[in-house]
């Protein structure tokens, strides 16, 4: 499960675009939202676990003039409030819907998600297919990946959990416990994904000194199986594999992610 928090403490790169920062009301707190560019194609970015929206700046800075980029920090991250309470997947999806409505009312958007953000993007598309024009997933988490990992290496996953929890600050550790509890009880969704273009970017690099199970050869094989199953649920798209990049493809190769966004947007415009 280290993949759900990779990048949370990384330095944020500067954007070449000026950002219009806003605070969007969400229930009893506000969410920090950044709007960049003035293009007609609106892209909404969902970051990984514990990671602020600014992590996308390297990608946003390489998008063409035809895009408007919306990034935000989930509750309790960055300047976003959260009342100090742990949020569920369902609550995060509600906040994502608020952000989309505030920035693109009655307009479909292109959704981009990394890791846990990829899981949220996928589940949002199931709930609100009419709001999704295309999807780009950057090494995404899935609802069933943890069950698949535990079926093969339960003891290792438990040990990894304890190691990770010992490293996280209290608030993030509480979020991690809540998330893993939800994923341990997850079941494959029976709700179909929308018929939109998908660009799926998967890291296939096996680490020479794996820190957690997901970075081992065996763990990577399961990760690829999860992504292959996800990709098979779409009729249009491309599944790209990155042997020379780790989990944070958007930080290591931002140009490749920007190109994937351009491709997905063009496919969406062409329509089937």
In tens, the pLDDT along 120-149 reads 999 999 999 999 999 999 999 999 999 999
Q: What is the mean pLDDT of the chain?
A: 91
Residue 16's pLDDT is 35
72 is written with which tokens? 């935000």
Has residue 70 got a pLDDT over 90? yes
Q: Give per-residue pLDDT as tens, 19-55.
A: 688 999 988 899 999 999 999 999 999 999 999 999 9
Residue 19's pLDDT is 67
Residue 5's pLDDT is 52
Q: Looking at the DSSP assignment, which residues form a beta bridge with residue 25?
A: 30
Q: How many residues does the chain have?
A: 272
The three-class DSSP label of residue 205 is coil
Mean pLDDT of 80-94: 91
Residue 118's pLDDT is 98
Residue 7's pLDDT is 44
Which stretch of 8-12, 20-24, 221-225, 261-265 has the lowest confidence by average pLDDT?
8-12
Has residue 13 got a pLDDT over 80? no
Domains of the chain: 2-142+190-201+232-270 (3.40.50.1820)
- Say if residues 230 and 140 touch (Cβ distance below 8 Å): yes
Residue (of 228, 229, 236, 227) closest to 263 by Cα position: 236
Tell me the C-alpha distance between 224 and 230, whole Å.
Answer: 10
Element (H, E) at 18: none
Non-local CB neighbours of 79 within 8 Å, separated by 6+ positions: 23, 32, 73
37 is written with which tokens? 């560019």
Q: What is the pTM of this model?
A: 0.93
Non-local CB neighbours of 257 within 8 Å, separated by 6+ positions: 59, 112, 136, 138, 201, 249, 250
Distances (CA, A) of 213 to 119, 156, 160, 180, 228: 19, 7, 7, 15, 19
Q: Give per-residue pLDDT as tens, 147-181.
A: 999 999 999 999 999 999 999 999 999 999 999 99
pLDDT over 70 for what percent of the chain?
92
């Amino acid at each position: 499960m280290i993949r759900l928090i990779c990048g949370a403490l990384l330095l944020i790169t500067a954007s070449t675009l000026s950002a219009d920062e806003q605070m969007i009301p969400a229930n009893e707190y506000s969410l920090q939202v950044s709007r960049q560019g003035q293009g007609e194609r609106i892209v909404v970015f969902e970051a990984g676990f514990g990671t602020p929206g600014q992590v996308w700046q390297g990608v946003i800075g390489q998008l063409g003039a035809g895009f408007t980029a919306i990034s935000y920090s989930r509750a309790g991250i960055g300047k976003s409030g959260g009342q100090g309470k742990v949020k569920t997947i369902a609550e995060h999806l509600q906040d994502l819907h608020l952000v989309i409505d505030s920035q693109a009312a009655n307009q479909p958007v292109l959704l981009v998600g990394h890791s846990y953000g990829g899981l949220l993007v996928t589940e949002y598309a199931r709930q609100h297919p009419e709001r999704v024009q295309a999807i780009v997933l950057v090494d995404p988490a899935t609802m069933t990946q943890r069950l698949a990992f535990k079926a093969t290496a339960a003891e290792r996953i438990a040990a990894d959990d304890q190691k990770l929890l010992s490293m996280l600050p209290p608030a993030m550790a509480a979020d991690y416990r809540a998330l893993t509890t939800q994923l341990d009880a997850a079941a494959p969704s029976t709700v179909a994904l929308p018929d939109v273009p998908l660009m799926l970017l998967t890291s296939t690099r096996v680490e020479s000194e794996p820190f957690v199970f997901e970075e081992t050869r065996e763990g990577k094989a399961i990760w690829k199986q999860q992504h292959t199953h996800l990709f098979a649920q779409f009729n249009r798209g491309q599944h790209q594999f990155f042997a020379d990049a780790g989990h944070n493809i958007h930080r290591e190769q931002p140009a490749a992610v920007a190109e994937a966004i351009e491709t997905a947007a063009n496919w969406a415009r062409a329509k089937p």
